[in-house]
A and B are shown apart, each in its own frame.
Chain A
Amino acid sequence: MVINNRPRRLVAVPLLPALCLVSGLSAISSFAAPEPIKVEFPSGTACAISSPDPGFLVSVHSGASNSSKATWIGGSNRTSLEFIGDDKITRLCFFKNPNPDASQAALWADDFRSENPGALRAIAYSRTTDCTFQKWVTQIGDKVLPLGLLSVSFQNGIPPAGTPLVDSSGKIVGLILQPGSATMAYAIPAQAVHRVVQDIVAHRKLVKGWLGIALSPGSQIPRITGVLPNSPAADAGILENDILVKAGAYPIARYPDAVNALFYTVPGETTSLQILRNNKRIEYQVTPIAK
Chain B
Amino acid sequence: MKPSVEQISNLLSQRSDLRPEEGYWQDFLREFHHNQRVEAASKSAPAAFLDRFRSWFSEVSPSKWAYGAGLAYATATIAFFLVPRGAEVETMPSAPVNHQVVPAPTMEQLEQLNLDPSTEGNTGEQVF
Residues of chain A at the chain B interface (Cβ within 8 Å): 63, 88-91, 140-147, 149, 177-178, 180, 186, 188, 210-218, 225-226, 228, 255, 258-259, 262, 265
Contacts and interface: CB of A to CB of B under 8 A. Distances in A.
B122 A146 contact: no
Nearest to A291: B127
A258 B121 CA distance: 17
Nearest to B107: A217
Given A142-B106, A218-B123, A225-B125, 18 more contacts: A63-B112, A91-B113, A143-B121, A144-B121, A145-B113, A146-B112, A177-B113, A186-B115, A210-B127, A211-B128, A213-B127, A215-B128, A217-B109, A218-B107, A226-B125, A226-B127, A228-B127, A258-B128
Contacts of B109: 143-144, 146, 217, 259
B51 interface: no
A91 B112 contact: yes
A156 B36 CA distance: 120
Interface in B86-128: 105-115, 119, 121-123, 125-128
B126 A216 contact: yes
Contacts, number: 78
Contact of B127 (A147, A186, A214): A214
21 contacts: A63-B114, A89-B112, A91-B112, A142-B105, A142-B108, A143-B109, A144-B107, A144-B109, A145-B110, A177-B113, A178-B115, A213-B128, A214-B127, A215-B125, A215-B126, A216-B125, A217-B122, A217-B123, A226-B127, A258-B128, A259-B128
A59 to B, nearest CB: 14
A143 B110 contact: yes
Contacts of A141: 105
B107 A212 contact: no
A145 B126 CA distance: 13
Given A178-B115, A186-B115, A217-B122, A144 B110 contact: yes
Contacts of A145: 110, 113
A90 B128 contact: no
A216 to B, nearest CB: 5
Given A142-B105, A142-B108, A213-B128, A90 B123 contact: no
Q: Which 9 A-B pairs have the closest CB atoms?
A: A217-B107, A142-B105, A262-B128, A217-B109, A214-B125, A214-B127, A143-B108, A144-B109, A89-B112
A147 B106 contact: no
B111 A255 contact: no
Contacts of B108: 142-144, 217
A122 to B, nearest CB: 19
Contact of A147 (B113, B121, B123, B125): B113
A118 B85 CA distance: 71
Contacts of B115: 140, 177-178, 180, 186
A88 B122 CA distance: 16
